Structure 1
């Protein structure tokens, strides 16, 4: 399997932290030198290991924000 190159351009926020210290974060990340996108996933404390996540374009993030704002929580 090929190595995946990533660069965290901006850490937007931490959503939660597990007992083992892994944090679910919203970050702006460039994957394989491509345009940076917003990304939600778990990271170890050093940002060396990551869990599965979801990557969103700006437009997808706007739509998600709209959906969340319309939810009755």
Structure 2
């Protein structure tokens, strides 16, 4: 598997943290030099390891926010 390069442009927030210190974070990340996207995934404390996650462009993130507001979570 090729190396994946990422640059965390902005750390937006932490949703949760487990006992091992891994945190579920929402960040703005540039993957392999591409335009930054919203990214939700688990990260090791040093940001050197990551779990599976999802990336959303601005429009998708806005649509998700509207859906969550409609559900009145």
TM range (shorter): over 0.9
Moved over 3 A (4+): none
Q: Distance in 1 between matches of 2:60 and 2:21?
A: 29
TM-score (norm. length: structure 1): 0.98
Confirm or deny that 1:33 pairs with 2:27.
no
Kindly tell me the number of residue pairs found equivalent between the two proteins.
73
Secondary structure in structure 2 of the residue aligned to 1:34? coil
5+ residue gaps in structure 2?
A: none
Match for residue 60 of structure 1? Answer: 60
Q: Please give the TM-score of this superposition, normalised by the length of structure 2.
A: 0.98
* Aligned equivalent of 1:44: 44
Per-residue deviation, 1:72: 3.5
Cα displacement string for residues 16-37 of structure 1 (whole angstroms, at most 9, x for unaligned residues): 0001000000000000000000
CA RMSD of aligned residues (A): 0.6
